[in-house]
């Protein structure tokens, strides 16, 4: 991983998803025993992974009850 001239790095997608890091989420860097840890700041909202599978399907003919069951995770 390379650091840009502005001191920026790209956090790999699998790490962002695992930690729920989305745009505008605050993170902290913690130094401990010569190592640096990236941690999501406490109190931050979780990512929107559960809605990702629904992206782009708003044109599907579904009833309100079907949509609510889908967003709530009902089967």
- Are 1 and 10 in contact by the 8 Å Cβ rule? The answer is yes
Sorting pLDDT into bands at 50, 70 and 90, what band is 1? confident
6 in a domain, yes or no?
A: no
26 in a domain, yes or no?
A: yes
8 in a domain, yes or no?
A: no
7 in a domain, yes or no?
A: no
Total tally of structural domains belonging to the chain: 1
51 in a domain, yes or no?
A: yes
Segments forming the whole domain that contains residue 21: 13-72
Residue 27, beta-bridge partner list: 40
Question: Has this prediction a pTM greater than 0.95?
Answer: no
* Each residue's pLDDT tens digit, 25-55: 888 999 999 999 988 887 755 555 566 666 6
Which pLDDT does position 67 carry in this prediction? 83
């Amino acid at each position: 991983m390379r650091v840009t001239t502005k001191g920026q790095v790209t956090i790999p997608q699998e790490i962002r998803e695992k930690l729920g890091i989305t745009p505008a989420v605050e993170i902290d860097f913690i130094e401990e025993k010569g190592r640096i840890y990236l941690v999501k700041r406490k109190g931050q909202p979780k990512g929107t992974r559960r809605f990702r599978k629904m992206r782009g399907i708003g044109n599907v003919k579904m009833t309100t009850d079907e949509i609510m069951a889908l967003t709530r995770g009902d089967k």
